[in-house]
Structure 1
Amino acid sequence: MNRIFWAADSTVQTNDYTTYPQTGIGQVFPLFIKPEYQVRNHAKNGRSTKSFMDEGRLKAIEERIGAGDFLFIQFGHNDEKKEDPTRYTEPFSTYMENLETFIRVAKDRSAYPVLITPLERRCFMDEKHLGIGAHSDYVAAMKQTAEKNNVPLVDLYSMSRMELKKAGEKNCRRWYMFFPEGEYKNHPEKSEDNTHLRYDGAVNFASLIARGLRELGGIYADMLLDDMNL
């Protein structure tokens, strides 16, 4: 059985009822792949490339990943937190260096690394227009890293911005933890969280990753269900 290991942050992590209705992309990605592929989701809330490694989470993947497996690497949200030295990385230096460490772990185990640019937040300036976005330098740095290391890249950042623009400020609220008081028994308080996802958002953005993998072709497209219209 081929395995997909995922190293990422809260936009990808697998949630349980204690954080419901929050849902991560990695949690729903099995909806898009053939049954002979299995997702091993190591994504964790609040982690950057730096803190993920410092906590031994990459080491845990290194001990398990093997030939023919995939390592999906998706960071940026927390690497940009300048106020937190335990997580912050400079986009065109330490962030790129850390990404290369993840890539080496995969390649040293004869696995296939895939870089995935960070998901965009709901950063609307008005009902229709998005702001510049907080991740732009990290997206550029990840693209440079992919090119330098000859590693495939799925540009979730650009695709998600297009989806947000198409939906508009109000319609895309259903994708994020943005809802009124009393909508959920387990989360009765109002939420205006523009980063974390609900189920519809996780499925929508996971489908964009699947689309990107299909465009890469070869072994990346082979993991996807055959009858999907992406």
Structure 2
Amino acid sequence: MNLNIMKRLPFVLLALCGALSACQSTQPESRISGIAFEKTPLANAKITLIDARGTQLHTITNMQGEYEFSRTALQAPLLVSVVSGGDAKYCSQNAQLRPVCLAAVIEKLAPTQIANINPLTDRIASDVAVAQGFIGPQQWVDSAKINALDPAVIAQARSYMQQAFAQALALAGVNKTANFDPATYPIHRNAQLVEMLSLLNHNRNYDNNSGQTGHTTLSDVGFRPLVGLMNSGAYEPFDFAHARAEQQAIHNAAIRIFVVGDSTSAVYEQLRFPRMGWAQMLEREFKTEANVKVIVGSRAGRSSRDFYNGRWFAQMEQLIQPGDYVFINHGHNDQSCDSARPERGIADVQNLCTYPNNATGKIQHPAGKPELSFYHSLQRYVNITRERGAIPVLFTPTARIKNAKGEQTTPVVHSHVTQHKPGSNYAFVGDYRQTIMDLARTEQLPLIDLGTASIRFANQVGDPGWKSYWLVVDKRVNPYYTETMGGSPQLPDGTHFQKNGAEVMTKLSVELINSNPALKALAEKLKAQ
């Protein structure tokens, strides 16, 4: 070959590479990559990316929860979401078991961009979604578009998280916690940060009027709420050391008691103290040496049906071991079966409602929909508990302060029943407490009739004595209870408890456990009464 041509060849090739895209393959391609994580890495999960132009990309995570896309031609901001264990179309629904669904907002793009998706990113995305008028993050994801975002809204959402997790992030070795973004931080390089995320329970709330999933909620490993009471705003601080110790205590316990229920037994935020659920007080009733750990997963507003479908039970299920106990304490919200109820009636029937047995004990539900039977709904928890080698215990729901006329006063009567009344529209009516008793008898289960015991107590203290136990709190005790807030003296709450009432309900439960021969082994672990 001519020597002059040989000398000129490199320059010719460079010129060709400048004109032809084929030579660009020699340059490293810009990528977007991240980890999808909820308790553990989400393997084989579906990732969707939406950019500012409406471009959509899809992929599947690997076994480590990792994914990546080409960065080419994408325009910030991005909305990235993950779905694990089901179809994305069910992420906004509560009528059947919902998959794990989370999202993350990426405000700006670097040449090589990290885009993690985890519980913290989902709450930030939730705050940003709510600021745009969405019920929650899933409705934003489903809209498949990103309008211009207010940087101040994103910064505020991130700041709320940073403030609540500042101490935890410092313990995890994160420098400059005020700059921490869980979506863009290289989490995979920090084992303590991965551990911190594994100690969070993530879910999305229920929107009463639409029946769809709402804003993001977070609690710690012991189900103490961190954020979610409001659809946006500040969190309660996350105590990393305490959560780590509690995780170990749950693992090392000789016996675990899991409480599956509603607001009457749930754990509450410090913001609403002295509001407490009765199960919040239960663990202290056991001897220290018995090493009993009580895990209260109960959730306000949930019925037996959507406690399961909404993945609240899923957060506890994998922790249940042979020899443990599951206290099943539903009945208040299953009564949400009046389709004529203004605003939320239809949504209630579609998502919360289960129907009680009739007066002769016959199971009731619409044709082909056994999941709408209260009996069957409770039986699902019984079956799962037994499959895991644990012991199911049924509780009747605590008393509402309501007399025979429906007035909020004593003498209190049993009110966990539905009846046909003018203006109502119930497909079936009946007695929820009796249905619980029917199931206990048929399945030969231990029964704690806390409903009858709490009615007896309410009538012993009378009116206004009940107001020292159920939720009636003066704003001088806690400014949260303003004149317009439920649970204030102006709007007394005859369903939920303040600390005194929670303690009484716990004591009543302990007495009933002690007197139940089927629970003798558990009773032996209680402190002397």
Q: Deviation at 1:59?
A: 2.6
Contact 1:176-1:197 at 8 Å conserved across structures: yes
Distance 2:498 2:271 in 1: 14
What residue number does 1:105 align with? 384
Distance 1:63 1:224 in 2: 26
What residue number does 2:521 align with? 219
Cα 1:88/1:132, change in 2 over 3 Å: same
Distance 1:76 1:223 in 2: 28
1:100-126 C-alpha deviation (Å, 9 max, x unpaired):
110011111110100000001111358
| Residue in structure 2 matching 1:23, options 276, 281, 304 | 276
| Residue in structure 1 matching 2:302, options 44, 47, 68 | 47
Count of residues paired in the alignment: 227
What residue number does 2:332 align with? 77
Distance 1:131 1:155 in 2: 14
Amino acid at match of 1:220: L
Tell me the SS of whatever aligns to 1:79.
helix
Q: Deviation at 1:18?
A: 2.1
Amino acid at match of 2:523: A
Q: Deviation at 1:180?
A: 4.2
1:166-207 C-alpha deviation (Å, 9 max, x unpaired):
110211111111244544233233341111110000000111
Distance 2:287 2:271 in 1: 29
TM-score, normalised via structure 1 length? 0.93
Cα 1:89/1:219, change in 2 over 3 Å: same
Q: Deviation at 1:127?
A: 5.7
Q: Which protein is bigger by CA-based radius of gyration?
A: 2
Q: CA RMSD in A?
A: 1.7
Unaligned runs of 5+ in 1: none
Contact 1:182-1:188 at 8 Å conserved across structures: no
Q: Deviation at 1:22?
A: 0.9
Structure number with greater CO (CA < 8 Å, separation at least 6) is: 1
Amino acid at match of 1:40: I
Distance 2:308 2:409 in 1: 39
Answer yes or no: is 1:91 the counterpart of 2:356. Answer: yes
Contact 1:20-1:187 at 8 Å conserved across structures: no
Distance 1:57 1:199 in 2: 24
Distance 1:132 1:53 in 2: 26
Distance 1:24 1:59 in 2: 21
Cα 1:127/1:187, change in 2 over 3 Å: closer
Unaligned runs of 5+ in 2: 1-253, 338-344, 358-363, 365-372, 418-429
Q: Deviation at 1:151?
A: 0.6
**What is the percentage of aligned positions where both structures have the same residue?**
24
1:76-103 C-alpha deviation (Å, 9 max, x unpaired):
1100012312111101241000111100
Cα 1:95/1:182, change in 2 over 3 Å: same
1:1-230 counterparts in 2 under 5 A?
Answer: 1-35=254-288, 36-82=291-337, 83=345, 84-85=348-349, 86-92=351-357, 93=364, 94-124=373-403, 125=407, 128-135=410-417, 137-189=431-483, 190=488, 191-217=491-517, 218-225=520-527, 227-228=528-529
Tell me the SS of whatever aligns to 2:260.
strand
1:121-174 C-alpha deviation (Å, 9 max, x unpaired):
111358642244234811000000001111100000111111011110211111
Cα 1:188/1:102, change in 2 over 3 Å: same
Cα 1:78/1:14, change in 2 over 3 Å: same
Amino acid at match of 2:354: T
